[in-house]
A and B are shown apart, each in its own frame.
Chain A
Amino acid sequence: MNNTSPPGPLQGVRVLDLTWHIAGPYCTKLLADFGADVIKVERPSSGDPSRAFGPFPGDRPDAEQSGHFLHLNTNKRGITLNLKSDTGRALLLQLAARADILVESFSPRVMPGLGLEFGALSQQNPALVYCSISNFGQSGPYRDSRSADLITYAMGGPMYATGIVHREPVKLGPRLMEYQAGNVAATAIMSALLDADAGRGGQWLDVSMMETQLAGVDRKITNLLGHQYTGEIAGRDELVLGVLPIGSFPCKDGFVFFTVFTNFWSRFAAMIGQPELVEDPRFTAPGALFNPERRVDIDELFYPWLGDRTRQEAQAAAQAFHVPGTAVQTAADLLQDPHLATRAFWSEADHPRAGRLSYTGAPFRLGGGATWALRNAAPLLGQHNSEIYTGELGFSAEDLVRLRALRVI
């Protein structure tokens, strides 16, 4: 934990964070890590569902030691509040009156149902930036439909083109769509903060997770506008980039990833010690490098080379010939990765229950003095109740006891 680190560029910006799961908390983590004062509001007793996600040390469930929760909630202050009670709503209105930004990721019906919709809150705080993150957005026929990370990728992302022919489409990785949506929401919030900061008032941001996929560069470049232009549909076709090695390949101790576009053919041939291949008529005929039959020939040349090498050896050989070839690493490799170590990427923080842990570092490095910093680990459930309710909202200790008894906090 580093309380002597320079302030973040968002120092003094107050965020009221009603989000849960992954997308919303990742959004507010970005704001908090860059210096905003983020007050995370959780349900009394169970808190954010990500407290139950794990992973847990030794696989023993503990709401204060969930790896996802710890990762996603750095630098935030935490309070509990029952929004379903009248007193709870009144407290939220007080908190929203002094916030610059409110972020919520409930189903679209929830906040209006509580009387906490943008219109109500902006009336008392016209400069409030109010960001709603939802599965399908705040309007349209799917507004109230249920979703999940997998479904976001299926309906919004390029899942139809992910995987191999004759098998089911496959997702990109664990919950990556949720992280991406959180990143987009933070970007939307920064744009609205610039507006509010210039005296142009607050606004309501509608972040649809489905649309963060559809408007993302991968889906629309490879598929959507391309489909409009060509009438073709991007599918799970392995040969779209030609027959040269593009993808993960097994080697002695794992996998290496090669991206050998057709214009890297001569470098590739040199790398595998067969520079004469570039004169080989099997590969020089027009369209040869897109002919599926040539793939077998290439594989026959490539696999023995791979089998003789470890990931690191294959990577070193590829780089020596300027061929894009890199090791396929795991989380275990990342923690010992020499590049990340040289760049001092990892940060550490102490947490009263989870102890000292490494955390991922700055997503980018600002050169203007104010910067990213891991100032505090994630809050315990209700850790800052007394600091915020009595210290900042002016309640007495007796009030807090009463609110606890009423299960408001």
Chain B
Amino acid sequence: METIDINKYKESWKQENQKITSQNKLSIVEIQTFIHKQSKDVSQKFRIGIVVDAVIKSTLIVSYLILITLFWGDVTLISLNAILVLVSILLILFQIKVYKQIPGIESNSGKLNDILKQKIDFFNNTYAKSIYIGALTNPLFFISGMLFYFRFKYGEVRAMDLEDYIVFGTAILISYVFALVAQLKSYQFSVKNLQTCLKELNEDTITELTIKQNRNKKLRVFAVALLFLIIGLLLLFYIMAL
């Protein structure tokens, strides 16, 4: 079988491609419109996600402050809501820190190899942590709603037994896991795409070990986040039981 010589295609490629340009030629106005549009890049979606999360957490802070006034006189509940305000503020500050790092991964003017490594590094470290932090909005929202419910239904937070703790604890955990899974799915899609490209680019240089190391790092972050959530829940129930 005769082997095709790719070099022969080079000349016709040059001539024929003029047709593609002439048939699709864009005007100055169209180009001008493009540069004023919003980017569809993943970093832009990430930026919007952080802003939305910060707005929701700010609303939660307001709701906890309202709860403090509603439970005025009850030291335990005031302390609990004050802690939740503090936690929400810390989480917002973390998200602001992440937000400031986004421009670092938006530049496309460097070498492809460096850009891919930079983006993967950002996704595996900063972005991954931000997902675990962002998902905490759901449990915070749930706790706020629960306290409002108790206040308006019974006028107080009633003493809870073991069964109540299990039900509420499970609900809070589920709300966290749901938010986490949804965000992780989108993260995995983006990072997998970049990892594949880097692997294709370097072929033998990026080893399976690097991928395994990244996977282990993600697992560690998840374990720490889960540990904090469980400690937080235990603290919450302890304070409520006082």
Q: Are A and B subunits of one complex? A: no
A interface, CB within 8 angstroms of B: none
What is B's interface to A at a CB cutoff of 8 Å? none
